[in-house]
């Protein structure tokens, strides 16, 4: 009995030590883990193109290279057509930011003085435009820096992106060998069960990213057209590009994309801010009730509350990058939960309910019958 107790204690101690060492190693390799997360998301997004080429007897490595070339040519073409105008308008917006902040301060000061007797000096101290402008710029930089801070700076971020693209291409070219080698680490029957889930996981992760990209493109075009119609053609393309990029972030993206346009509309004065607000409300409702359920919701299969929590958790961990890549991983993990736990549990419950119940014994008769 004592020997068995000692062996159990040693095994438990080794398990704890091994778990701690594993956590330490994973923490040291966190940059590599982020690169792998991005690579898997990229591979899942491009996989349908490679699978389509493979059906026509095109080797997977050639299909992966062709897919990369098509994407590169498309991005280059879009960048050459609208890139200079977008960067010019965004640069002009940044230059005009102090002037817009001063205009907003004056408007707020007028509103406050109308409803209270607060001294103008106190309002100017509370609404220091220079300090607010610097705070906005610093906060934006910190949010962006967190996205690549884990990769040791801008140069490390560019290198990590290139490495992620290379690893994703290798995953696409030899996916079957990689999957077989990974699932062999698990005992039977879990190896076959996990291998069967690779396809659904890839479809859900890739479908999320492709749907999110398509929604962002549609909303960016709609925002540009709407702002041009409302009288902001000098900033419409830049603001539309900002709205399209921020819409890659679910839930929070539309709000972030509307803020610059509302600031410009407030500085312009008049009823323009009302019309811009109505425009973004309409766009937000179209996204929430039409585009997201049609293009994203059908591929995710996760409750919106859980999606929001995954976005917030991704922002806390990796900044903007986490808000983009953590939700598809969460959607992929939900496939494992559904297929390996919820569905077997439901089948077992239905099977138990369909079995005939054993006859219940009759209740005992009372010892003394009433007269």
Alpha carbon 188 to chain centroid, angstroms: 34
Give the residue, 13 or 49, on which the prediction is more confident: 49
Confidence of residue 371 (pLDDT cuts 50, 70, 90): low
Report cis status (omega within 30 of 0) of the bond before 15.
Answer: no
* Spatial separation of the C-alpha atoms in residues 14 and 86, rounded to whole Å: 58
The DSSP string of 38-51 is HHHHHHHHHHHHHH
* Spatial separation of the C-alpha atoms in residues 40 and 328, rounded to whole Å: 10
Q: Scanning the structure block, which residue is given the tokens 């409302």?
A: 230
Please state, in angstroms and as integers, the Cα–Cα distance from residue 77 to each residue in 66, 71, 219, 240, following that order: 16, 10, 20, 18
Task: Tell me the three state secondary structure of residue 19.
Answer: helix
When the pLDDT of each residue in the chain is averaged and rounded to a whole number, the result is: 78
Instruction: Say what the pLDDT of residue 301 is.
Output: 67
φ, ψ at 66 (rounded to 5°): -65, -40
> Is residue 35 within 8 Å of 163, Cβ to Cβ?
yes
Instruction: Say what the pLDDT of residue 69 is.
Output: 93
Secondary structure element (H or E) that encloses residue 155, with its range: helix 153-173
For Cα atoms 242, 245, 250, give the angle at the middle one, nearest 5 degrees: 120
> What is the tens place of the pLDDT at every residue in 20-40?
888 888 777 777 888 888 899
Instruction: Say what the pLDDT of residue 1 is.
Output: 45
Please enumerate in sequence order all residues whose Cβ is within 8 A of that of 320, keeping only pairs 6 or more positions apart, or say none.
Answer: 143, 144, 146, 147, 249
Candidate from 5-14, 239-248, 281-290, 342-351 with smallest mean pLDDT: 5-14
Confidence of residue 221 (pLDDT cuts 50, 70, 90): very high
Q: Choose among 253, 233, 237, 236: nearest CA to 245.
A: 253
> Is residue 93 within 8 Å of 264, Cβ to Cβ?
yes
* Spatial separation of the C-alpha atoms in residues 296 and 212, rounded to whole Å: 6
Percent of the chain scoring above 70 in pLDDT: 78
> Is residue 52 within 8 Å of 70, Cβ to Cβ?
no
* Spatial separation of the C-alpha atoms in residues 27 and 37, rounded to whole Å: 15
Confidence of residue 225 (pLDDT cuts 50, 70, 90): very high
* Spatial separation of the C-alpha atoms in residues 317 and 139, rounded to whole Å: 16
The DSSP string of 186-229 is SPTTHHHHHHHHHHHHHHHHHHHHHHHHHHHHHHHHHHHHHHHH
Q: Within the chain, what is the greatest distance between any pair of CA atoms?
A: 103
| Token pair in block for residue 300 | 């995710």
Which of the given ranges, 14-28, 36-50, 108-122, 180-194, has the highest pLDDT on average?
A: 36-50
User: How much is the average pLDDT of 307-333?
Assistant: 83
Which of the given ranges, 127-136, 201-210, 345-354, has the highest pLDDT on average?
A: 201-210
Instruction: Say what the pLDDT of residue 224 is.
Output: 92
* Spatial separation of the C-alpha atoms in residues 182 and 264, rounded to whole Å: 52
Return the number of other C-beta atoms located less than 10 Å from residue 265's C-beta: 25
> Is residue 168 within 8 Å of 46, Cβ to Cβ?
yes
């Amino acid at each position: 009995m004592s020997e068995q107790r000692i062996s159990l204690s040693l095994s438990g101690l080794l398990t704890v030590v091994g778990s701690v060492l594993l956590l330490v190693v994973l923490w040291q390799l966190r940059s590599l883990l982020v690169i792998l997360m991005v690579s898997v998301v990229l591979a899942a997004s491009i996989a349908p193109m490679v699978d389509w080429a493979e059906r026509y007897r095109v080797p997977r490595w050639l299909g992966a290279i062709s897919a990369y070339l098509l994407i590169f040519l498309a991005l280059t073409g879009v960048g050459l057509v609208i890139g200079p105008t977008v960067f010019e308008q965004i640069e002009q917006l940044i230059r005009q930011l102090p002037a817009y902040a001063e205009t907003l301060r004056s408007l707020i000061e007028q509103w406050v003085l109308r409803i209270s007797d607060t001294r103008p000096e106190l309002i100017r101290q509370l609404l220091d435009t220079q300090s607010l402008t610097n705070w906005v710029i610093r906060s934006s930089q910190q949010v962006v820096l967190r996205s690549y801070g884990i990769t040791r700076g801008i140069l490390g971020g560019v290198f990590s992106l290139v490495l992620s693209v290379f690893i994703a291409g290798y995953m696409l070219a030899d996916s079957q060998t990689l999957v077989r080698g990974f699932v062999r680490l698990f005992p039977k029957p879990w190896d076959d069960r996990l291998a069967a889930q690779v396809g659904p996981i890839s479809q859900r992760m890739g479908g999320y990213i492709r749907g999110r990209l398509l929604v962002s493109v549609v909303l960016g075009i709609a925002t540009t057209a709407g702002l041009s119609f409302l009288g902001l053609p000098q900033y419409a393309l830049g603001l539309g590009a900002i709205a399209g990029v921020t819409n890659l972030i679910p839930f929070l993206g539309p709000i972030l994309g509307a803020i610059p346009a509302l600031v410009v509309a407030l500085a312009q004065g008049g009823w323009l801010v009302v019309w811009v607000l109505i425009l973004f409300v309409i766009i937000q409702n179209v996204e929430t009730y039409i585009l997201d359920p049609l293009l994203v919701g059908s591929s995710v299969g996760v409750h919106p509350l859980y999606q929001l929590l995954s976005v917030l958790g991704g922002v806390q961990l990796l900044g903007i990058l986490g808000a983009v890549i953590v939700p598809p991983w969460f959607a992929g993990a939900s496939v494992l939960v559904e297929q390996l736990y919820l569905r077997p549990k439901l089948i077992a419950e239905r099977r138990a309910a369909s079995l005939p119940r054993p006859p219940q014994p009759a209740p005992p008769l009372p010892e003394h019958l009433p007269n």
